[in-house]
Amino acid sequence: MKVLKFGGTSVGSAQRMKEVAELITDKSKKIVVLSAMSGTTNSLVEIANYLYKKNHDGANELINQLEQKYKQEIDLLYSSDEFKQKGLELVKSHFEYIKSFTIDMFTVFEEKTILAQGELLSTAMFDYYLQEQGEDSVLLPALDYMRIDKNNEPDNIYIRENLNKILEQHEGKNIFITQGYICRNAFGEIDNLQRGGSDYSASIIGTASQAEEIQIWTDIDGMHNNDPRYVENTKSISELSFDEAAELAYFGAKILHPTSVLPAKLANIPVRLLNTMEPNAAGTLISSKQRKERMAAVAAKDGITAIKIKSGRMLLAYGFLRKVFEIFESYKTPIDMISTSEVGVSVTIDDNRHLEEIVDDLKKYGTVDVDTDQVIVCVVGDLVAENKGYAHAILDAMKEVPIRMISYGGSNYNVSLLINAKDKKKALNLLSDKLFN
Ligand code: ASP
Ligand code: MG
């Protein structure tokens, strides 16, 4: 069995849904995980924001606009009156449900229920389409098996048991359609795996069902060796290790959600990144296999803040770093990069929500400097120490660019450099010339 995940753009219109159907209707056994149609989750977030502010007119206007859009797609998706009718009823019932939340008591519970409607709609529409085409597909409700625990981590045992139980009830069937992103929480309420979480769903489902492969279908041909928005002639990377893919996904390659690599890695299930616009292109294969070339890719992560804490007393002191890290932990703010010297430590964060409080707390331990508008440029590959020359090549390429921090040796797969945002394009191009050309 394979798991195939199609993102919002891949199911973004009736036409695109028909193209996805062509890709999945061979007779092999598969679970197809779908996102909401592109733009839908953003619109649902906006609707929820209006409802939090009790702006019911604003919410209703958006709800009606979105409903109109779905009605148009329904008309284009189905050819028979029977299915056009079924589709319209489906859309009507979901939007009536959304409208039932234009009430004064609007909490995160109502919000999450609204956000779930995007994936519930796209999968139901797609399943109807397959039925109209005479396919014997089965709609698997993610809310019946996908669950997170009290720490918002996937409840893997529950998921495995329940998903496999449902699959067994449909023995002999080959095409299963299910929702990405949505789940229930430890209290049984509707919840989600965070924005972009459909990739994570696919990976969790692949692991739970012991799939032979997880495919993530998007609209570009796999991960590229540099950011095509800033660098010309980037190339699709044919193979990556799980660790390299995790670093790249985290540090900028938007094509794959970073959380989705770990479950696949632990279960050793290959992940293939494929392009719906060019289904026969090779894409990127992420697996435990060793690659031949060492340098894989360069990526950049925006919106980084660097914080430097200088303490006169760090000299020969122990416990200083623990105290510093505890402050970040108490504000649930993850640290990306670290660089230490005998008199101080610099760290970077990408979540600024508690910056002020963090800085205030850090001042107990020394002087604190903050630099905003930073970018982490990260070089990913199999950069093990015996392979001399990579650090030199990277720094040589960057000789014209001021570097604020360097991190090397944290893993065998990544060298990270912190630079000013304004130097990002230049840095990406210099590294590209030096490392790949
Ligand atoms: N529809 C959700 C989002 O837009 C989940 C996903 O597409 O991955 O964030
Ligand atoms: Mg995505």
Q: What is the pLDDT of residues 249-272, one digit of tens each?
A: 888 777 899 899 999 999 999 999
Pairing mode, if any, of strands 405-408 and 414-420? antiparallel
Q: Is the pLDDT of residue 172 over 70?
A: yes
Q: Is the pLDDT of residue 295 over 80?
A: no
Q: Is the pLDDT of residue 339 over 80?
A: yes
Report the pLDDT value the prediction gives residue 266, as an integer from 0 to 100: 96
Atom of ligand 1 nearest to the CA of 257: 8
User: Which amino acids bring their CB within 6 angstroms of ligand 1?
Assistant: 7-8, 35-36, 41, 118, 180-181, 195-198
Quote the ligand 1 centre to 280 CA distance (angstroms).
25
Q: What percent of the chain shows pLDDT beyond 90? A: 85
Report the pLDDT value the prediction gives residue 341, as an integer from 0 to 100: 87
Q: Is the pLDDT of residue 435 over 80?
A: yes
Quote the ligand 1 centre to 347 CA distance (angstroms).
30
Quote the ligand 1 centre to 404 CA distance (angstroms).
34
Average pLDDT of 160-165?
A: 98
Indicate the top mutation candidate among 5, 16, 35 to test ligand 1's pocket, ranked by most ligand atoms within 8 A of CB: 35
Q: Is the pLDDT of residue 239 over 80?
A: yes
Q: How far apart are CA 31 and CA 33, in angstroms?
A: 6
Pairing mode, if any, of strands 239-241 and 284-287? parallel
Report the pLDDT value the prediction gives residue 383, as an integer from 0 to 100: 78
Angle at alpha carbon of residue 46, lines to 43 and 50, rounded to 5°: 140
Report the pLDDT value the prediction gives residue 289, as an integer from 0 to 100: 87
Report the pLDDT value the prediction gives residue 315, as an integer from 0 to 100: 58
**Residue 402: other Cβ atoms inside 10 A:** 9
Average pLDDT of 79-105?
A: 95
Indicate the top mutation candidate among 43, 123, 182, 198 to test ligand 1's pocket, ranked by most ligand atoms within 8 A of CB: 198
Q: Is the pLDDT of residue 382 over 90?
A: no
Phi, psi of 301 (to 5 degrees): -115, 120
Quote the ligand 2 centre to 361 CA distance (angstroms).
36
Indicate the top mutation candidate among 119, 181, 203, 204 to test ligand 1's pocket, ranked by most ligand atoms within 8 A of CB: 181
CA distances (Å), origin 132, targets 87, 126, 141, 365: 11, 10, 20, 67
Taking the whole predicted model, whether its pTM rises above 0.85 is answered as yes
- Ligand 1, atom 5, lies closest to the CA of 196
Report the pLDDT value the prediction gives residue 265, as an integer from 0 to 100: 96
Contacts of 426 (CB under 8 A, 6+ apart): 400, 401
Report the pLDDT value the prediction gives residue 386, as an integer from 0 to 100: 64
